[in-house]
């Protein structure tokens, strides 16, 4: 989980090959976040700095379904701060507008 969070939060664009490599870890992270009792160590893995880094690395060119689903679980598990939610909303709106054009 930590390798996933660090990779997605690293100051570089998330590539498709990186997401293919981490796809199983994203599914495990989502399952852990969905569980009735989220392991306490998940808060240190997906801390505010890493989550902000993940969101900052998103762009219309590199968003994958897995990252969107991970962000959704982070939101539902109350891991996202209001500013992170606002930024994520803006990114998704841009993606939606580009897909309509």
Given a cut of 90, is residue 71 above it in pLDDT? yes
Q: Which range of residues forms the domain containing residue 85?
A: 2-100
C-alpha–C-alpha distance, residues 93 and 46, integer Å: 24
Given a cut of 80, is residue 3 above it in pLDDT? yes
- 13 pLDDT band, cuts 50/70/90, is low
Nearest-CA neighbor of 56 among 32, 90, 17, 101?
90
Structural domains of the chain, count: 1
C-alpha–C-alpha distance, residues 95 and 17, integer Å: 20
pTM exceeds 0.85: yes
């Amino acid at each position: 989980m930590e390798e996933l969070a660090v990779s997605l939060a690293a100051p570089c664009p998330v590539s498709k090959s990186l997401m293919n490599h981490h796809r199983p870890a994203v599914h495990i992270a989502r399952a852990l976040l969905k569980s009735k009792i989220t392991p306490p160590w998940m808060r240190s893995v997906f801390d505010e700095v890493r989550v902000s880094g993940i969101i900052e690395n998103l762009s219309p060119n590199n968003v994958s379904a897995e990252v969107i689903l991970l962000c959704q679980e982070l939101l539902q598990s109350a891991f996202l701060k209001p500013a992170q939610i606002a930024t994520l909303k803006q990114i998704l709106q841009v993606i939606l507008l580009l897909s309509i054009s």
